[in-house]
Amino acid sequence: MYWSRSGSYIDLLAWLILTGLWWAGGWLISSRLFQTRQRERFFTGMAVGLLLFITLSNLLAQILPGATLLRLDLAFWSAALIIFLAGLLVSWKARATFSFRSILDELSWKQIAIFLALLALFILINRGLAIFDENNNLPLVARLALGDLPPHYYLNPEQRLDYHYGLHLYAASLVRIGGFFPWSAFDLVRAQAIALTLMLAGLWLRRYIRTTWALALAGLLILFGGGARWLLLFLPESTLLEMSARISLQGSALTTGENLFTALTLPWKIEGGGPFPFPFAFVNGIFPPLSMALTGSGALPQLTLVLLLLLARRRWTITTGLAYGLLIASLALTGEHLLVMLFAGLLAATLIRLLPRQRREFNHRPVISQLSQVLWIIIPGLILALVGGGVLTETFRRFLSGLGGAPIETGLGFSSLGLRWPPALVSAHLGPMALTDGWQLLAALAEVGPALLLAPWLTWLALKGAVRGGRPDRGWIEAGAIYGAGIGFLAALVVSLATRDRDISRMTGAALFIWMLLSLPRLWLTFKQTTTRSPGRSPVYRAAWMRYVLIAGYIITIAAGFSLFPAQTIAIGKPQFTYFIEEPDVLLSKAYWDRLKPGAWVLDLAYPPRPATLFGRDIGRAFEDIYVPAPEFQSLLISPDPHRIAGAGYSYVYFDKKTWLNLLPEQKKAFQRACVKEIAEQRTELGDFRRLLDVQACLPDSAP
């Protein structure tokens, strides 16, 4: 009941064929075009195919002709087929030969077993957790599965939703083609993103770290590395009280405790948690661990970053540059903050590398050649970011509308930019923490953790390497990521967002992840150099303090993520669909998914997101923006009546047992009038029930 909505093996087979097409195409592109190493091709191919599938499906769904659902089906299948044919084309141009034996030689069964184990683990964890705004994510998956591209806000279909919906679109392909439920599809794709990110990170680190135990420790750092809020627990009580007086909690932190001092010793109050709560002292509002990448984009931004490092080449052709640019462009749908950071960083890396050559090669061919290679990589991503969909596209579209004098269509999800002064580190839990306030700065340093200390060192190494100049190569990509991290980190200190200021913390978190990831090969080399062994002599320890510092930094960085993991694993024992959906809801969803009147509005007095998730229908003009409900909608919730509900444009009303029992007697009688038609009722053995009512006849001339 958890997995399949349609219960059809044919649907599952169709989705496996679809996946096989884009995976095979990505495999061929990775191995033949980017010439990745043999042990890397299986999983880099999966990542290349996945990102190209998301990008192309999104574009094709908006430009192909036909009815909405037919256009969406064509978009999914066309995208997979294009990727497969592109893989065959690059293989033909490379004069590559195929054989069953050669394909088997590229498989590492050990890697596949590790991936499947990680995938199964995080699927089970996701089944037990429903955290991080599933009331927004699941309706978005459902609406995308019915062809709403670019997506509109399910709580107000008149407004576009400025959002990074790439992972949701991938989940929508499982719902549409594979017959999955929105929640099972979203749980699977989030788990796949985490598992694939870990595999790619391991393959990239394998180039530098050959020792098995060191590689395993590096993988644990990637999975659990994050901030260190828990260090605040070691401060004296008087210090914590003084600090708490200067910190303004936000969101779930504010519901956890009245101030920081109180919240640090309490369980984190968040909807959809498992049977064992997360300790608030170990969660983080800036740099959460990869194991907690269960938000809207999941681990796709981190996955894309590691893939770009794996595919970086010594020399670029037009073809490789365009393909690489398409992969970067996928960030417009999964992590626009990282896309902006990478663009800025790559441009900075190019300019810095050109400076030492300016005097002797200005206007010469080497400089022109180098700039052209950079443009082939950046231009595709820039174009798709502005026209393909997502936050950047909607912002650009409204900007052009404003220039032309046309009325500017409102959108949701992205707010206007402003200037923040004094500079501050922003946490989604602790709010802005000014660098000019000593207490707030101390809390901010604990929130970001030791990864911040790596920034000056990596930046100096990147600048040192830039003095040598040279063509864009692997070092250029890494330098661009390092510079982009610095630019994003500094920008987040002084840029504010009008309505969702906490979202700026994504740039800070992305910068910290980049520094942590790119420092690992260098940190391992430094760790090895702290001990040298002379022939015939006992070990001679040099810079022993450095070894202790590295060990301490490692432990501090993974401690929070490692402490959160038990709560995640305990959730395996108590699976849930999501916190607002239970068994009778699922049974009605199986029966009435996309079968209600097209375009109809469904009112759920208890959980407005539920009908959109169960049936793929909107709730109408319920909210004026993300946070403010419309007064008319509020009045319907307070005084429900079928005539008023139908007059407001609703066709259906969805009741659960608790909501029905809480109605006043006269309200129950109103919903038992002749104009109200019961479409379905689903009861459980324990007496719980759900009812779907049709109220269109209560006001025959009303139409949503």
Per-residue pLDDT tens digits for 131-150: 888 888 999 999 999 988 88
pLDDT-based confidence at residue 243 (cuts at 50, 70, 90): very high
> What integer best gives the mean pLDDT of the chain?
87
Q: What is the pLDDT of residue 619?
A: 87
Task: Pick 600 or 628 by higher pLDDT.
Answer: 600
Q: Which residue has the tokens 């809480």?
A: 662
Q: What is the rounded radius of gyration, in angstroms, for the C-alpha atoms of the chain?
A: 27
Between the alpha carbon of residue 692 and those of residues 102, 321, 428, 653, the distances in Å are 56, 53, 38, 6
pLDDT-based confidence at residue 703 (cuts at 50, 70, 90): very low
Of 327, 299, 321, the closest CA to residue 384 belongs to: 327
Q: What is the pLDDT of residue 225?
A: 95
Mean pLDDT (whole number) for 186-211 = 95
DSSP per residue, 29-87? IIIIIS---GGGHHHHHHHHHHHHHHHHHHHHHHHS-S-HHHHHHHHHHHHHHHHHHHH
Q: Are 370 and 376 in contact (CB under 8 A)?
A: no
| pLDDT of 178 strictly over 70 | yes
Query: Which of 117-121, 502-506, 535-539 is predicted least confidently?
Result: 535-539
Tokens of 465: 């390497």
From the number of C-beta atoms within 10 Å of its C-beta (0-12, 13-18, 19+), residue 548 rates as exposed
Element (H, E) at 682: strand 677-683
Angle between helices 474-494 and 336-354 (to 10 degrees): 120
Per-residue pLDDT tens digits for 71-94: 999 999 999 999 999 999 998 887
Per-residue pLDDT tens digits for 365-412: 555 666 666 777 888 778 888 877 778 877 777 777 666 555 555 556
What is the layout of strands, in order, in the sheet containing 156-161?
152-153, 156-161, 411-412
Per-residue pLDDT tens digits for 632-666: 888 888 889 999 999 888 999 999 999 999 999 99
* CB-side neighbour CA atoms (13 Å) of 100: 0
Task: Pick 543 or 448 by higher pLDDT.
Answer: 448
Cα 80 to Cα 512: distance, rounded to the nearest angstrom? 34
Q: What is the pLDDT of residue 578?
A: 92
| pLDDT of 540 strictly over 60 | no
Of 587, 600, 602, 601, the closest CA to residue 655 belongs to: 602
Task: Pick 395 or 436 by higher pLDDT.
Answer: 436
| pLDDT of 564 strictly over 60 | yes
Query: Which of 23-37, 198-212, 306-320, 422-436 is predicted least confidently?
Result: 306-320
Cα 441 to Cα 425: distance, rounded to the nearest angstrom? 8
Q: What is the pLDDT of residue 438?
A: 92
The alpha carbon dihedral of 617, 621, 622, 627 has a sign of positive
Report if pTM > 0.85.
yes
Cα 158 to Cα 77: distance, rounded to the nearest angstrom? 29
3-state class (DSSP) for residue 467: coil
Task: Pick 315 or 5 by higher pLDDT.
Answer: 5
Which amino acid, 547? R
Q: What is the pLDDT of residue 363?
A: 47
Q: Which of 91-105, 495-509, 551-565 ranks highest by mean pLDDT?
A: 551-565
Q: Return the biggest CA–CA distance within the chain.
A: 98
pLDDT-based confidence at residue 362 (cuts at 50, 70, 90): very low
